[in-house]
Amino acid sequence: MATQSTYDYQNHPATKDPAWVKWTLIALAVGFMIIMLVVPLVAVFYEALKDGWQVYLSALSEPDALSAIKLTLITTAIVLPINTLIGVALAYLITRHKFRGKFIITTLLDLPFAVSPVVAGLMFVLVFGANTLLGGWLESMGIQVIFATTGIVLATLFVTFPFIARELIPLMQAQGDSEEEAALTLGANGWQMFWKVTLPNIKWALLYGIILTNARAMGEFGAVSVVSGHIRGETNTMPLMIEIAYNEYAFTLAFALSSLLALLALVTLIIQGIMTRKQSH
């Protein structure tokens, strides 16, 4: 368990800042957040709702909008459980086992952070495209990857799978395995140790990683844009539909979908804050 430092930075004569420094930093931080975060967010909701709730709901009820919302929710519902299982398994493997090649796995884990999402989408096209060996074989079996929901799910999996593992690995390394060894010594088997000791110790970090994964999955644009083909009513997620609507001057639809994504982001932040408070207690 982490211990709180007893050193009071601002009450020590050697490190105490003048009052004007504190208030200047506060003004800069608040001003930056208002300009870069609050004002754009308010503008999105204003543009979406300026013509009234009836127009707003009518825009979200359009067939293309409903299809985009449905596809986004389906993709997220598939990606979340897969990423949760993979993330927990990778974190457990890296923190609890010694083997050759561990450095390679931990390095590859950060690949989605280093590679542009557009490049990631292009990689899937080069691997699963209709003119490739693997893509052609899959299509002959009746499985279409590119320009289909399957490709969107794969692209979203690629860009989101490090989040859960990267939340768990530092925590599990800091906690160590003493409690797990104690459980095994007292007669617990591997699964009992995991469910009764490991999982309760990592539950907050796991939930936080799931929330981050959910937010990224719903808002992913670059990789999905490359593999989707922009087929209206079939392969457009909410971010893609926002771009199409805006380019076609359907501003009400564009801002309505944008506000829905923004609302989901705000809900994510609220849940994150609640979890942080519970974890601190």
Q: What is the DSSP string of 68-90?
A: HHHHHHHHHHHHHHHHHHHHHHH
| 5 — pLDDT class (breaks 50, 70, 90) | low
Q: Given a cut of 90, is residue 96 above it in pLDDT?
A: no
Q: Given a cut of 90, is residue 71 above it in pLDDT?
A: yes
What does each C-alpha distance from 165 to 29, 108, 184 come to in angstroms? 31, 12, 24
Domains and CATH numbers, the chain: 71-231 (1.10.3720.10)
What's the confidence (pLDDT) of residue 82? 95
Q: Give φ, ψ of 162 to 5 degrees.
A: -75, -20
Instruction: Identify the CA nearest to 223 among candidates 24, 50, 20, 79.
Output: 79
The average pLDDT across 166-170 equals 91
| 270 — pLDDT class (breaks 50, 70, 90) | confident
Instruction: Identify the CA nearest to 260 among candidates 218, 225, 224, 220.
Output: 218
| 3 — pLDDT class (breaks 50, 70, 90) | very low
pLDDT tens for residues 209-237?
998 899 899 989 989 999 998 888 888 99
32 vs 265: which has the higher pLDDT: 32
Q: What is the pTM of this model?
A: 0.84
| 158 — pLDDT class (breaks 50, 70, 90) | very high
| 279 — pLDDT class (breaks 50, 70, 90) | low
Q: Given a cut of 90, is residue 23 above it in pLDDT?
A: no
| 188 — pLDDT class (breaks 50, 70, 90) | confident
User: Which SS3 state, helix, strand or coil, does residue 131 take?
Assistant: coil
The average pLDDT across 48-62 equals 90
- The b-or-e profile of 200-225 (16+ CB within 10 A means b, else e) is eebebbbbbbbbbbbbbbbbbbbbbb
Calpha distance 129→143 (Å, rounded) = 11
82 vs 184: which has the higher pLDDT: 82
The average pLDDT across 79-93 equals 93
Q: Give φ, ψ of 200 to 5 degrees.
A: -60, -35
Q: Given a cut of 50, is residue 1 above it in pLDDT?
A: no
What's the confidence (pLDDT) of residue 9? 66
For the chain, give the percent of residues with pLDDT over 70: 93
Instruction: Identify the CA nearest to 206 among candidates 170, 174, 176.
Output: 170
What's the confidence (pLDDT) of residue 15? 64
Instruction: Identify the CA nearest to 220 among candidates 162, 160, 146.
Output: 160
